[in-house]
Amino acid sequence: MTLAEIRSAHETTLAEAMQANADRTFYAHWPEAPSGKIYGETANDDGLAGFQKQLNHQFDRLPAESAWTGEEVSPYGFPLGITYPSIAVEDLIARGSAAQTAWQSLTPADRASILVEALERGAKDFFEIGYATQHTTGQGFVMAFQASGPHAYDRALEAVAMGLSAQQHFAMNVMWTKPMGKISVSIDKSFRVVPKGLNLVIGCSTFPIWNTTPGMFAGLVTGNAVIVKPHPGAIYPIAIVVARVRDVLTELGLDPNVIQLAVDTVDAPITLDLVRHPALRIIDYTGGPHFGAIVEREAAEHGKIVFTEKAGVNCVVLDSTDDLDRAMDNLAFSLTLYSGQMCTAPQNIFIARDGMKVGNDVVSVDAVVDKLREKIDALVFNEKAGPTTLGAVQNAATAKRVDEAHGLGFGVVRQSAPVLQPGFEAARSLSPIVLRTDTSKVDIYTKEWFGPISFVITTDSFEQSLDEVTSSIRKHGALSALVYCTDDARMQQAEDAIVHAGAPVSFNFNSYVWVNQSAAFSDFHGAGCNPAGNATFADWSFVTKRYNVVGVRKQA
């Protein structure tokens, strides 16, 4: 296809996506169901065959290099044996810098159209991506398909549309005329979008595409060359995406090094070498708060733009509900989904010691806790839904954290135990542990316990529960908050307190939407105003900070 054909092919998609960003109503460009009727009757078989063929081979969809590396191991119990081209930091920088000149000379609309073309072609990879994500992150296949396929690609399209809208917000050329009495003076003015420079995107091990594509595509649409540095344990999924973009660039005669994959190992990391390089001007980071703080500090010392999504302590308040069964069904699923390995998963559940109002009655804390355990057990012990909902634990350190939680000496609402994953006897899979304590243990439960670990914490009152939540948000950050409350005045009180503390809040979820979820084109993922991170997928600042506007004036 020519560039003109690509522009024409995706004009409607970009217009719809830009409108969706403005309207914030439901919009999804790619269907989320892994259905053969949608993606082709052989799509699943083809994706699985592609995954199996890739195992124990070089990832040759990227150009060959003299060195190859890779150490991915499936949480379901086997090494992937895939190696990837290993490129030195200085070579990555030199190649990206050379490629950026031609890329930034394209119009924003051209760049956006090229990126949508890459996404559309990449949608053909959704099933292989699903298996690649399952066996690098531990997600169940359906979740892996959705999170790394349609949902991640929608987030990418959202960032492209936001970047295009920002760059087209003002006229790029104008004849400026100033009246001066009997005469006037005219100046031919043009405005050029000048990218900040090379953009590094640092990926995480649990959502290697969903958390990477927003920064990757925001950087590209604003004219920056991008280097993607995935987590050593989850390279395969994002490598597929990078390869697709490079294919489209090559076909159009553009330098494919506008986008590059930087691969390393746990024992020989290159992330900080990239972060500290003077040619690197923008950094997107997703991952743990400790290393995230290092990245933020390095960026600040060298005047670089940094977007972070780290981690926080997400909280729930149980005050009142009209339907305890449905409320606990929803909460149990949120605690169980992907074994709590989501940045939005709840951890701390606060309830006043007098209990929870259900309709016109008051249900004791013990009864509420029993109901929550009952709902978790019903899901975990469901032979069909349990294993796929839980998935596997991505990192052995998370499994050790569960053992640490067992040793805290808290009351045990529910013990964690191994879960059999059919077909994968060596899978690292655990059911949730739920512990019970009170506010005297604040120093323990206010740290992040990443994984299938949660705490039920009794307080003196609704007001104290809310104070605990807002204090935790301000000190430790949060990416979600959930409140069950049927009293209008208390709901408003909670909304004001939590939003002003800097976290998004959800109320009374009891159906098929969960607090863990964040919808592209509607939800602003990450408020950007608490210690859990400074970025939001995707608001104006997520794209506008990646470029400057420079004017050119010519006497008419």
* Residue 345 resides in a domain: yes
CATH number for the domain harbouring residue 387: 3.40.309.10
Both structure tokens of 540: 């104006």
Does residue 527 sit within a domain? Answer: no
End-to-end CA distance of the chain: 38
- Quick check: 161 pLDDT over 90? yes
Which residue, 389, 396, 337, 294, is CA-closest to 75?
396
Q: Are residues 485 and 502 in the same domain?
A: yes
How sure is the predictor about 1, in pLDDT bands with cuts at 50, 70 and 90? confident
- How far apart are the C-alpha atoms of 555 and 188, rounded to whole Å? 6
Element (H, E) at 105: helix 89-105
Residue 527 pLDDT: 80
Element spanning 482, H or E: strand 481-484
| Beta carbons within 8 Å of 375's beta carbon, 6+ residues apart | 325, 328, 329, 331, 332
The pair phi, psi for residue 118, each rounded to 5°, is -65, -40
**Closest residue by Cα to residue 530 from 494, 505, 493, 507:** 505
Same domain, 344 and 294: no
Reported as a single tens digit per residue, the pLDDT across 318-375 is: 999 999 999 999 999 999 999 999 999 999 999 999 999 999 999 999 999 999 999 9
In a domain, 24, yes or no: no
Residue with tokens 């050329």: 173
| CATH number for position 44 | 3.40.605.10
Q: Of 507, 527, 545, which one is at a domain's C-terminal end?
A: 507
Task: Count the domains in the chain.
Answer: 2
Provide the domain limits for residue 268. Answer: 3-13+39-310+535-555
Half-sphere exposure of 520 (CA within 13 A, CB side): 29
SS3 175: strand
Are 156 and 119 members of one domain? yes
Same domain, 236 and 325: no
Task: For residue 538, say if its preceding peptide bond is cis, omega within 30 degrees of 0.
Answer: yes
Q: How far apart are CA 125 and CA 148, in angstroms?
A: 10
For the whole model, what pTM was predicted?
Answer: 0.95
Kindly state the percentage of the chain with pLDDT values over 70: 100
66-115 tens-digit pLDDT = 999 999 999 999 999 999 999 999 999 999 999 999 999 999 999 999 99
